[in-house]
Amino acid sequence: MTMSLPADLWPDVQPETARRLMLAGVESFARRGYHATTTRDIATNAGMSPAALYVHFPSKAALLFAISRSGHEQALGLVESAAEENDSPVEAMREIVERFVAWHARRHTVARVVQYELGALPETEYEVVAGLRRRIERIVRDLVVTGVESGDFTVTDPGTAARAILSLGIDVARWYTERARKSPEALGKEYGELALRMLGATSHRR
């Protein structure tokens, strides 16, 4: 493999062979795109035969779905926990942006596949992933509304503001590389500040 992917990706996926195929899938899809990648490419990349791939994933689309669902579940998980752990809308939003941005930077190869190959998912699988996306968007939008009601934020259109905040994080996956001059965490902290400014947060300095 030409790209290095962290060994702690998908620690819950068993057996090891399935995890190796997901890693090879991510690497191949990120490099050449979903449609230009064959199951043979992925199996070769994982050091297996195409037949061995089908033991774990019935199709290339099933492999993309496993990668995409898992990525969206990770992103949803960190957004949910940041929202739950902080009572103040300002601190909750800051944590959401910090974690969401840091995840897209640290996992930029996975995140590229997750964010840019959605259109390649079959309809049923797409609907599952779209449901996860809607939950992420709803948490952020509801938090903007809560903050406006509590007087912490001043925003005319919470939907547009929420989308812009998520865009900041998602686009990090497009440009971030290990050669970037900021660590994922440092970038997350800066973007957390920028997002709070966008929302007109009144007293947001730590």
32 binds a second copy (CB under 8 A): yes
State the Cα–Cα distance between residues 18 and 24, nearest whole angstrom. 10
Amino acid of residue 143: L
DSSP for 171-199 reads: HHHHH--TT-SS-HHHHHHHHHHHHHHHT
Structure tokens belonging to residue 83: 């929202």
1 binds a second copy (CB under 8 A): no
Which residues inside 137-156 make contact with a second copy, applying CB under 8 A? 156
State the Cα–Cα distance between residues 122 and 86, nearest whole angstrom. 37
171 binds a second copy (CB under 8 A): yes
In this complex, which beta carbon is closest to a second copy, that of residue 84 or of residue 182? 182
State the Cα–Cα distance between residues 24 and 5, nearest whole angstrom. 9
Candidate residues 49, 81, 88, 167; the one interacting with a second copy per rule CB under 8 A: 167
Q: Which stretch binds a second copy (CB under 8 A): 6-14, 56-64, 74-82, 193-201?
A: 193-201
- The footprint of a second copy (CB under 8 A) covers 32-36, 115-116, 156-157, 160-161, 163-164, 167-168, 170-172, 174-175, 182, 187, 190-191, 194, 197-200
